[in-house]
Structure 1
Amino acid sequence: MSISSISDLEPSQTPKNILLLAIGSMGDVLPFVNLGVGFRQRGHNVIIAANSRFRSFIEEKRFAFREVIWDMQHEWENTESGRRMVKFSSYSILGSPFMFKFLKQGFQKSYSDAENVLNNVDFVVLGTGGAYMYPECLVRKIPVAYVCFYPWASSKSYAGAAYGRSFDSLQWLPFELNFKIWKTVDYVASYWSDIGLLPIYNQRLKELGLPAAERLPWLPGGAFEKNQILVIHALNKNLIQIQKNPLNPLEVQLDYPFLSIKEELKDYVPPNDLVEFLSQGMKPIYFGYGSMHSFSDVKSRVNIWLGVMKLLPENQRALFSGIGNLEIKELDDAIKSGRVFIVNHVPHSWLFPRISCVVHHGGSGTTHAVVRAGIPSIVVPHFADQPWWASILYRLGVTPNTGIQANAITVNKLLMALLDVLSNEEIKEKADKIGSKIKKEQKRSPVSKIVTHIEKYWEKMNWDVLTLDDEQQKIKVKENGYHINENHHGDGIKNGLNKNGMQEIKI
């Protein structure tokens, strides 16, 4: 692997207290831990805020931890709103209202964390799941950057990740019709967001003494765009290239924040029995859905995997991940026969190069890891951006279909997809080609570029002037002797500052 260490980064001359707000599952937390390594190497004090299930993981990495009460995974397993969201998660139309209802109650709980989480912080990096905390940062005059691992807005090539799939299959349509389709997707996305989340967001703005917002901050036309907030799409360009946003020149695309292989595996020692299993025969198939294991009954899920294995050639072996302490005779028999091995957490950068094919849920981190390893995969998307990633991999030609929805998966569907992958040399060659290209292009860990890009952003900011584009706030600002730009024009803003060097903030 050609990615070098980030340890050659020189310490910053202006160390700051950096808060990384990582709301969600491990897929949301891990890339922020990687960014924390980069910020720490630069000499900054790094705090990572997440729910308590990640406390030990974060503290083992020697970062300060602050607790966010909202445990998304616990609630989709144990609350009525969470269970309904899971039940309808695979339906593009029915899923949205249940998802937003689930997110709404999460917002309400998380706002109570702000006082503790944002205490004594110089700068906040908001993740996808934490963008709703923007006004909490605003009233405390804490500058922010937004790092997301999939785009919300649509382009002429793809629909926003949370709401749609790649439109490559529609390229045969006339441009005008294709344009209308993706524009409609944006409208639907905005509609569901506005009726689902905007009311609770505006209620919090009212409590903070701020004017109501017309859009949520991360959506097109929202505060991140209007205020020229730094938005980083942390996505490898070989998977998808994000078009420039003319309304926000500070919106950029950088690579997914992997550490180098050496840094990722610094303290990892693979279990002897796993090493032995991998060395005994042909490369196995990996079955695992990451944090999505609670979206389905574990026994049903494993029975499907076992059903597939029974129909594959006897020399084909597999790794099963995320099945807990399940005990069923068929699984025990498969383990004793040497065809199946149970794994817990194993770093993808170590494991995936030793695998023939990965059956996964399509999270951003797993998707990037699979592509970087240069192997094909089959995606079983559950919700959110996962169907989108499935379609992206299909567009790249490294998977046989646009995904098998989790609520519709069968032994036969998964078997047919696996037989296709295992026998299709073109898919294997394309996967290997993209993986090799990524390894060649990543001369150093992408984390260093993201960290230094954020540092350059805050060096150009006026840290003492954060205003609201509201009549009462304009009066207060003028009374205090500050200047505020009365008219917001996108072409008059550069690097987050207006023509007069002051930062203009909108809700």
Structure 2
Amino acid sequence: MQRTIVLFALGSRGDIQPCVALGQGLAARGHTVRVIAAARYAALIAAAGLEAAPLSVDPAELLNTDEGQELLAGGRNPVRFLRGFRRLLGPLAEQLLGELLTASRGADLILAPTAGGLGEHLGSSLGVPAAEIHYQPSHPTGHFPHPMVPQARFLGPVGNRLSFQAVDQVAWQLARPFINPWRRRDLGLPSAPLLGPARRPASGGRRAALCCFSSAVVPRPADWPANVHLTGYWFVEEPAYRPSDELTAFLEAGPTPVYVGFGSMVPPDRAKAHTLVREALRRAGVRGVVQGDPKNEEVRSDDDVMVVEDVPHSWLFPRMAAVVHHGGAGTTAAGLRAGVPTVVCPFFGDQPYWGERVAALKAGPAPVPFRRLTVGSLAGAILHATNDPGLASGARGVGRRLSREDGTANACDIIERLLT
């Protein structure tokens, strides 16, 4: 039976693409899929054959503000991170929540990230089931701490488990002043209690959580319950992509280059960051494909560096000797799947965690935080990634495992069970 499924993609492109991949899988099974995302991604969503529900809030633009730069400088401190998001989104909360409600009407199932429990509030109001999307480990476990509270590991299994609950509570207390008025005013629900709404049971047990990552990268903890599904990554396939003549010529003109790009992360001084990257590539003795604006005179291409704006990672990364990036969950997944060594230069949030996972898998060197990045540290990490046979072997091994998985199909199977 055809159903309408609403997907919340509330972030940058790294959050959008997995939702698009999942949406395409569900659409191929006959379902109607609506993706809620910033307006700049409407064309990408429509091109995938899905309904786009544009939001007026654009995360990329927010990161360009003073508050956004402060958020990027916050590193891994969960309280500072979540308070930064509140400062960014607080003035826009009423408008954003109203748009989410409008876009969710008519849904038979809502799939949303854990932030603020948005899916659960809307599902309760609209009388439909809701499931969570986890882009990083978010369900409590005694085996490791929350990605944003690594210090909790020193307190053992109890500290590990409490770290997840602590992050959930901080997030809820910061969201509560916006969520409860919305529940009363627009959703027809009473205020949620001080410690947050009770988790409404889903069919067959507690609310389902779909973890959009692989057990090859994060082994499933033995104490996760059956309602937490580690599906594997949801990759967008782009077989129709054709590179420009300039990019093709550059790749054929010399040794295999190294990719460097920081996604939607916005360095405080872009020109300075580009100069640092270019000098590090030169010092490491490698050519580079660098993310940037080819029309910007300050970051122009030359014989050793090709500046590209938007090239699918699924096409580009397998053609690189190594990839250097910010450590977003989606970009990390693409680099690991390509089977080439990865250098993570994290800015904030869960990015340091993914850098640590890459290093633990021996698929790349230890992460180099962007705020401490120098020409020497980046050049050294690139040399390590491109010259260590152990890293090359580790990266190939992870890549082979990811290439055999079909996380999208696994997630679609789970969703169809929820619908029935």
**TM-score normalised by length of structure 1:** 0.76
Shift of 1:381: 0.9
What does residue 236 of structure 1 align with?
Answer: 214
Query: Of 162, 167, 186, which aligns to 1:189?
Result: 167
What does residue 213 of structure 1 align with?
Answer: 193
Q: Is the 8 A contact 1:28 1:127 kept in 2?
A: no
Query: Residues 75, 199 of structure 1: CA spacing in aligned structure 2 closer, same or farther, 3 A cutoff?
Result: same
What does residue 44 of structure 1 align with?
Answer: 31
| In structure 1, C-alpha distance between the alignment counterparts of 2:91 and 2:222, rounded to whole Å | 34
What does residue 381 of structure 1 align with?
Answer: 346
What does residue 394 of structure 1 align with?
Answer: 359
Q: Is the 8 A contact 1:66 1:117 kept in 2?
A: yes
Query: Residues 341, 251 of structure 1: CA spacing in aligned structure 2 closer, same or farther, 3 A cutoff?
Result: same
Shift of 1:425: 1.0
Q: Which moved more, 1:42-51 or 1:106-115?
A: 106-115
User: Aligned to 1:291, what secondary structure does the other structure show?
Assistant: coil
| In structure 2, C-alpha distance between the alignment counterparts of 1:352 and 1:324, rounded to whole Å | 19
Q: Which moved more, 1:122-131 or 1:370-379?
A: 122-131
Shift of 1:97: 2.7
Q: Is the 8 A contact 2:261 2:325 kept in 1?
A: yes
Q: Deviations over 1:327-374 (max 9, x none)?
A: 23xx54xx33x1000112111111111101111011111111111111
Shift of 1:121: 2.1
What does residue 279 of structure 2 align with?
Answer: 307
| In structure 1, C-alpha distance between the alignment counterparts of 2:270 and 2:291, rounded to whole Å | 11
Query: Of 228, 234, 239, which aligns to 1:251?
Result: 228
Gaps of 5+ in 2: none
Whether 1:343 aligns to 2:308 is: yes
What does residue 465 of structure 1 align with?
Answer: none
Q: Is the 8 A contact 1:158 1:166 kept in 2?
A: no
User: Aligned residue pairs: how many?
Assistant: 417
Q: Is the 8 A contact 1:21 1:125 kept in 2?
A: yes
User: Aligned to 1:46, what secondary structure does the other structure show?
Assistant: strand
Query: Residues 365, 224 of structure 1: CA spacing in aligned structure 2 closer, same or farther, 3 A cutoff?
Result: farther
Whether 1:150 aligns to 2:123 is: no
What does residue 407 of structure 2 align with?
Answer: 446
Shift of 1:322: 3.0
What does residue 126 of structure 1 align with?
Answer: 112
Shift of 1:307: 1.8
Query: Of 12, 16, 22, which aligns to 2:3?
Result: 16
What does residue 277 of structure 1 align with?
Answer: 250
Shift of 1:94: 4.0
Query: Residues 188, 138 of structure 1: CA spacing in aligned structure 2 closer, same or farther, 3 A cutoff?
Result: closer
What does residue 102 of structure 1 align with?
Answer: 88
Q: Which moved more, 1:226-235 or 1:389-398?
A: 226-235
| In structure 2, C-alpha distance between the alignment counterparts of 1:279 and 1:48, rounded to whole Å | 38
Query: Residues 61, 124 of structure 1: CA spacing in aligned structure 2 closer, same or farther, 3 A cutoff?
Result: same
Query: Of 325, 337, 345, which aligns to 1:372?
Result: 337
Whether 1:289 aligns to 2:262 is: yes
Whether 1:426 aligns to 2:398 is: no
Q: Is the 8 A contact 2:313 2:334 kept in 1?
A: yes
Q: Is the 8 A contact 1:278 1:284 kept in 2?
A: yes
Shift of 1:92: 5.4
Asked which structure has the greater CA Rg, the reply is 1
2:181 alignment partner AA: Q
Q: Is the 8 A contact 1:360 1:380 kept in 2?
A: yes
**TM-score normalised by length of structure 2:** 0.90
What does residue 378 of structure 2 align with?
Answer: 414
Shift of 1:70: 2.4
Q: Is the 8 A contact 2:142 2:223 kept in 1?
A: no
Q: Is the 8 A contact 1:353 1:375 kept in 2?
A: yes
Query: Residues 89, 106 of structure 1: CA spacing in aligned structure 2 closer, same or farther, 3 A cutoff?
Result: farther
Query: Of 409, 413, 416, which aligns to 1:455?
Result: 416
Task: Quote the RMSD (CA, aligned, Å).
Answer: 2.6
Shift of 1:206: 3.4
Q: Deviations over 1:383-427 (max 9, x none)?
A: 2211111111111111211x2222221111111211222221111
Q: Is the 8 A contact 2:116 2:172 kept in 1?
A: no
| In structure 2, C-alpha distance between the alignment counterparts of 1:254 and 1:61, rounded to whole Å | 21
Query: Residues 288, 152 of structure 1: CA spacing in aligned structure 2 closer, same or farther, 3 A cutoff?
Result: same
Query: Residues 182, 256 of structure 1: CA spacing in aligned structure 2 closer, same or farther, 3 A cutoff?
Result: same
What does residue 289 of structure 2 align with?
Answer: 319
Q: Deviations over 1:194-251 (max 9, x none)?
A: 432233323333333324234456xxx75579971111112111100232556x5322
| In structure 1, C-alpha distance between the alignment counterparts of 2:7 and 2:375, rounded to whole Å | 41
Q: Is the 8 A contact 1:398 1:431 kept in 2?
A: yes
